[in-house]
Amino acid sequence: MKAALFFVLSCSCAATGSFQIAIDVPETLGPAWHPAPGQRIPYGFSTPTLNGNFTLEKSLPVIIFSYEPTDAFLRSMWTSDSSVLQFIREAPSSVHYLFTSYGLDALGDVTMMSDRLQWAMDELDLKHSERKQWLSHLHFAKLPLSGLSDVGANFIPYLMGRWRASKKVLSAVPSGSMRTSTERLDASWDWLPAPPPHSAPLQFFANGCTDIQPYDLDGKVALIIQDEINARMRHGCSYAHMISAAQVANASGVLFSPLPGHDVEQMACHGAECDLPLAIWASMVPRRTATAIAEDVLAGVDITLSFAEEDRPGYFAIINADMELAELGWVTFPKLMHLGWAAQWLEYEGRLKANLSRPALEVPIFKNQIMQGEQGVVAHVTLPHMSDLSEYDKLELDFTLGCPGSLDADCPIWDHVVQLFVCCEDPDGRTSHCDKCDVTPWMSMAAEDPAGQLWLAQNGNRTLTSEEPCGRELGRWITPFRRRVGRWLTDVTVLSPLLSSRQCRFQAQTAPWALPWKPSLSLRFTKDDRTAAVDAGKQKGKVERRLIPLFTGGTFDADFNGAEDRRPVSFATPEDTERAYIEAVITGHGSDENNCAEFCVTNHRFRVNGRDHWVNFTAAGTKWGCTYQVEEGGIPNEHGTWHFGRNGWCDGQNVRPWVVDVTKDLEPAQSDAQNVVEYLGLFEGHEPDPGAAPGYIMMQSSLALEGSFTQSTAPQVVS
């Protein structure tokens, strides 16, 4: 039985018209059902596809793509060879994908999609087993999205109606009357600025490569109609070349047609082109529309443009392995790999879930508390008895980062560092040995964030410190751009000596001007493979750990390596030392003339008695560097520049400690020789020496010792 409630989906089925479809909502949903991430879907279903029936309950997790054939952005995801090739080459074939269409010819749409993906499999010469795996996980619904109601899947079109999307459109205005709105595809958003709401008048600029006249557009918009010359000169006359020529001619923007016989495509830069100082917008419309506009312009009609985004039913959704709804995130490039990155995240979530199911002693610290302001979140916790904790070999931080609201769009838009500090009482119940809270590094980052600039204007340049005992850093994470799905397990075993007593104070904090996040944190104590001997009835010696603080970060300028915080550290090897490790958490922030220290390559050398150990962040500054971290817990499809490689970190990910075994580098415990640990930080292999606005290296490092220590064999440190 169905309730007397109808939900309306609209579909632009041609450039000149649209129709609406009424979706009747089942009584099991009702008008009060507001689908949100984390909710279980109300029921499964089965629908006919090009390769037989797709049954939802048996095919999980699944990513749903509802295609709109009149959206140039979505169409480009399929017409671009690089898009479909990358998807088949890099996306996981273990996740199911369901493709549907809003179009009148839904069967033709999904047949095109199937053909394109099979073409990519042919081009990549997939093995028979690989192709079979893919074909069993790609599902192309014969029915249009509205037709899913006929197979009992009403909730999907209803869901898409709730989770809205937008379609970029352009309207030409000749002589004061509105021309029919048409789809558009702007240049890659991370290359050129977006078009303004309204443009200056258009001026014909030929094909943008040859016979370019006039040479001074005087602030008008260059109209470029690409022809066969453009096709022949593609390598010598790229989009960057044409846009640069228009900018030199004083254009305020560029409107392109596609090549003859081609669909719209996204304009992007390649290689050295990306360094050209381009500051004007560019957009492309279907060739028929562009040539009609050109005819009017050449006839002397004064035409301006209006740019807008139409509100649309949603295009993407996910149903995870627990039959819960999830958002795909922000699709900012016409790349099918957005689905692939979401699938990689689903695989990561599966591995995380398996790890969390392992037996562990869990100690909750805080749960869904608001983190905002100078103190962030503070929790005073009584830990289990030290004798109980000594039975475990491994310490992990189970950290979840949500935000107020229920959707990704409710989350803060800017990325910030989150640090977790811990201070445990000494045997006399005092905390005077703990470092005071100090978030001075945030001051150097405030200028890059509008909210930070406002905070500085209101608070001045005062140093952010308090009398609260924060102690040492135990964990570090980076918030994502407007996503709420982060959860990570971080191995901090080498830092377990920081939990030196039962009474401990934990503080998680981010930039004091940041909008609120809602973190949750638990400590997980687990047994690793070394406990197998105990389980077999054999004796295992008790392992003690000690920490020697090493080096901290600072302003990354010519004085960086000579600063007090980075001078050599000397110590004698304690008796009964069995293993030794260097642990470091290093992230670069800020931007000088070399985009340093966020987007520059830095090198960090830790030298132990003359033997070198390097940390090199070579992915920093690469366009897609952080997309390769999705499988390791980097949140995909964020709102901002999440895809760029960073200096030791990625947006929406934990910063995993770098740990290297230096046992063989130490002097013998029986000798009188001192160990000497040195540090050196470099920019692309050279001493940093920025001309202005130097960046900042946030670093916490330690030497961790393992052995059967007594109080008398505690390491003595000499700086």
Percent of the chain clearing pLDDT 90 (strictly above): 70
Residue 3 lies in a domain: no
Closest-CA residue to 201 (of 308, 306, 291): 306
171 and 276 together in one domain: yes
**What pLDDT, on a 0 to 100 scale, did the predictor assign at position 463?**
55
- pLDDT band at 211, cuts 50/70/90? low
Assign residue 554 the CATH number of its domain. 2.60.120.230
Q: How far apart are CA 364 and CA 47, in angstroms?
A: 44
Residues 623 and 657 in one domain: yes
The residue out of 506, 541, 576 marking a domain boundary is: 541
Residues 621 and 650 in one domain: yes
Mean pLDDT across 140-166: 84
Q: Are residues 662 and 688 in the same domain?
A: yes
Judge whether residue 27 has pLDDT over 60.
Answer: no
- Stretch 239-260: mean pLDDT: 94
pLDDT tens digits for range 376-423: 999 999 999 988 998 999 999 999 999 999 999 999 998 999 999 999
Domain-embedded: residue 50:
yes
385 lies in a domain?
Answer: yes
8 in a domain, yes or no?
no
Q: Find out whether 170 and 307 touch, Cβ atoms under 8 Å.
A: yes
Domain, as residue range, for 434: 358-541
pLDDT digits (tens, 9 = 90+) for 324-362: 999 999 999 999 999 999 999 999 999 999 999 999 999
Are residues 632 and 653 in contact, defined by beta-carbon separation less than 8 angstroms?
yes
Of the residues 488, 515, 541, the one at which a domain ends: 541
Residues 676 and 570 sit within 8 Å (Cβ to Cβ): yes
Residues 447 and 564 both lie in one domain: no
Is 130 within the bounds of a domain? yes
β-bridge partners, 670 = none
Into how many domains does the chain fold?
Answer: 4
Chain centroid to CA 75: 24
CA–CA gap between residue 401 and residue 368 (Å, rounded): 8
pLDDT(366) > 50: yes
Query: Of 11, 59, 3, 12, which Cα lies nearest the Cα of 31?
Result: 3
Q: Which one, of 543, 576, 370, 378, lies nearest residue 469 by Cα?
A: 378
Q: What is the CA radius of gyration of the chain?
A: 29
Residues 160 and 171 in one domain: no
CATH number at residue 282: 3.50.30.30
pLDDT at position 18 over 80: no
More confident residue, 211 or 254: 254
Q: Are residues 390 and 518 in the same domain?
A: yes
Residue 152 to residue 145: CA distance in whole angstroms: 12
| Predicted confidence (pLDDT) per residue in 86-133, tens digit | 999 999 999 999 999 999 999 999 999 999 999 999 999 999 999 999
Give yes or no for a contact between 60 and 3, defined as CB atoms under 8 angstroms apart: no
The two tokens of residue 625 are 């560097």
Do 487 and 439 share a structural domain? yes
258: tokens are 């596609």
| Pair 650, 560 in one domain | yes
pLDDT tens, 535-590? 444 445 567 899 999 999 999 999 999 999 999 999 999 998 999 999 999 999 99
Of the pLDDT bands very low, low, confident and very high (cuts 50, 70, 90), residue 598 is very high
Q: Starting at the edge strand that comes first in sequence, how are the strands of the sheet with 253-256 ordered?
A: 185-186, 281-284, 253-256, 221-224, 202-204
Of the residues 128, 143, 164, the one at which a domain ends: 164
Q: What's the pLDDT band for 623 if we cut at 50, 70, 90?
A: very high
Q: Look at residue 22 and tell me whether its pLDDT is greater than 90.
A: no
Does residue 563 sit in the same domain as residue 680? yes
Backbone angles phi, psi at 7, to 5 degrees: -115, 135
59: in domain: yes
Residue type, 608: V
- 690 pLDDT higher than 50: yes
| Tokens found for residue 87 | 């998807």
User: What's the rounded mean pLDDT across residues 506-528?
Assistant: 94
Determine the Cα–Cα distance for residues 249 and 255; give it in Å rounded to an integer.
14
**Is it the case that residue 4 has pLDDT exceeding 60?**
no
The average pLDDT across 194-206 equals 93
Tell me the average pLDDT across 651-676: 95
By DSSP bridging, strand 394-402 and strand 377-382 are unpaired
Q: Are residues 185 and 106 in the same domain?
A: no
CA distance 415 to 657: 20
* 321 occurs within a structural domain: no
Token pair belonging to 213: 């006249």
Q: Is 82 left (phi over 0), alpha (psi -120 to 50) or beta?
A: alpha
User: Residue 656: inside a domain, yes or no?
Assistant: yes
Are 368 and 510 within one domain? Answer: yes
HSE-CB at 621 with a 13 A cutoff on CA atoms is 17
Number of H helices, E strands in the chain: 12, 37
Contact between 401 and 408 under an 8 Å Cβ cutoff? The reply is no
